[in-house]
Amino acid sequence: MVPARRWLVVAAVSAVVLVAVYLLAVWTVPGQALENAALRGADEAAARDQAVADDNLGRITVYSLAVAVVLVGLVGLLRRRADLAFAAVGVIVAGQLVTQVLKRFVLPRPALVPLTGHYAGNSLPSGHTTIAMTVLFAALLVVPYRWRGVTLFFLLSWAVGIGAYTVTAKWHRLSDTLAADAIALGLACLASWWLARRGIVRRHDGPRRVPRVLVVTIAAIGGLVFFALGSFLIGAALAGEGYAETVRGNAWVVYLAATSFASAGSIAAALVFLATWRRREIA
């Protein structure tokens, strides 16, 4: 049996990230003001971009989620591992339970800045981002070791795109996406810990697979580019115009930075989870 503590550590860090994102973005005036500016900036996005975002988000329904759950569970059962199927399906289902409970009953959004209408209510965490990321993590859990790279290749861009689309469509704020990433990562790590404690996780001693290394490398570079772009955009705006003017008159730049950070956060969560399973497979 391989050591399982790594997954508990990452799950604990994910919980800390969730709390930090919530406190900084929701319980501070600058946090709320910047995120509201990003929503205003999304109004300046091209109509085609908004249509694409709405279309992709609209495809995530109860029915499509049910199909994903069935497919993930089926792969686990085909591998003759009912416990693996249970863990993978549990990540997706628990993701929605945790997200909806936190959003509706646990995490309030105080009125720190003037705001009316739909956006005045709490929207943290993002249910759509949680679905996308938990489906990705569940798929990475349930597929055989040799198929992880292929799974990452096909699902990562979709999951990352959903997080960014929620900001473009003004369905969610940046913090909602980052919080959802943290929830999905934490739950996936708890499921991995449970599988390891059952003694079905073993070390993989086979050769490295070049396609997977390439996919991970490209994803890591993409994440760094998104983070650097977001940092440059918001940093240049704040340094050149100051906080007040950036919030008031440079909403487009704040929006671009927010979507960049949303993409970087989703990529980081995916790569961290994949790293916890480095050279590990289901027996």
Mean of per-residue pLDDT scores for the chain: 93
- pLDDT score, position 204: 82
- pLDDT score, position 4: 84
- pLDDT score, position 266: 98
* pLDDT, tens digit (0-9, with 9 covering 90-100), for 144-161: 998 998 999 999 999 999
* pLDDT, tens digit (0-9, with 9 covering 90-100), for 210-259: 678 899 999 999 999 999 999 999 999 999 999 999 999 899 999 999 99
- pLDDT score, position 189: 98
* pLDDT, tens digit (0-9, with 9 covering 90-100), for 66-99: 999 999 999 999 999 999 999 999 999 999 999 9
Q: Is the pLDDT of residue 50 over 80?
A: yes
pTM exceeds 0.85 for this model = yes
Q: Is the pLDDT of residue 1 over 60?
A: no
Task: Label residue 115 by pLDDT band (50, 70, 90).
Answer: confident
Residue 96 CA to residue 80 CA, distance in Å, equals 26
Q: With beta carbons less than 8 A apart as the criterion, state whether 214 and 249 touch.
A: no
* pLDDT, tens digit (0-9, with 9 covering 90-100), for 53-62: 999 999 999 9
HSE, side-chain direction, 13 A CA sphere, residue 53: 21
* pLDDT, tens digit (0-9, with 9 covering 90-100), for 4-49: 899 999 999 999 999 999 999 999 999 999 999 999 999 888 888 9
Give me the long-range contacts of 43-52 (CB less than 8 A, separation at least 24). Answer: 43/170, 43/251, 44/251, 44/252, 44/255, 45/168, 45/255, 49/168, 50/168, 50/169, 52/165
- Report the 10 Å Cβ neighbour count for 193: 21
- Report the 10 Å Cβ neighbour count for 109: 19
